[in-house]
Amino acid sequence: MQTLVRPALMLLLALSLITGVAYPLLVTAVARLAFAEQAGGSLLRDAQGQVIGSALIAQPFTGAGEFQPRPSAGDYATVASAASNLAPSNPALAQRINAAAAQWAPQGSGPVPLALLTTSGSGLDPDLPPEAALWQAPRIAAARGLPVAAVEQVVTANTRTPWVGPPVVNVLALNRALDRLPSQPQ
């Protein structure tokens, strides 16, 4: 029996050290060297060096002069990141979308973009389609005392096309770019 147990325990210990300690440390070291910013959370800082958010995780913006992100099923908490898991046939989903549409409706013209009404798969998507950001431009321009064209230009300048998928614009980056614009009477 001992001839079977001892090699099995040694193999368990060796594999545990390799897969549970050595491999994660190696992957972490490679990530920190090759992708230092992403491995550090893609943190964005203000002029004083204070962390104001991450380019990878949505955060709530509620001011009239700020772009607002997609809704979050977990209230933008990373611990509870997830979609709402409500099926399209679930009446609670329809009620939530209708309530969100009613809140957005007075703020823009035309139908509210779907990205502003539905949560993403993670509930923490920091990006919006450019159309959803442009839809918010008149409200933001009025609140900040800017021409609508200036706000639209900020959206266009911050739109990026990822390797896979449609063009997107990061909400935190948009709001930071707006903060750098001087307010002016229309």
Q: Are residues 47 and 89 in the same domain?
A: yes
Confirm whether 101 is domain-assigned.
yes
Specify the pLDDT at position 84.
67
Q: Are residues 82 and 105 in the same domain?
A: yes
Q: Are residues 31 and 82 in the same domain?
A: no
Confirm whether 184 is domain-assigned.
no
Residues 6+ apart with CB under 8 A from 79: none
Residues 6+ apart with CB under 8 A from 51: 43, 44, 45
pLDDT at 50 over 60: yes
Rounded to a whole number, what is the distance in angstroms from the first to the last CA of the chain? 87
- How much is the pTM? 0.72
* pLDDT tens-digit map of 146-186: 999 999 999 999 999 999 999 999 999 999 999 888 755 44
**Tally of domains in the chain:** 2
Q: Are residues 20 and 87 in the same domain?
A: no
* pLDDT tens-digit map of 92-120: 888 888 888 888 877 667 788 888 888 87
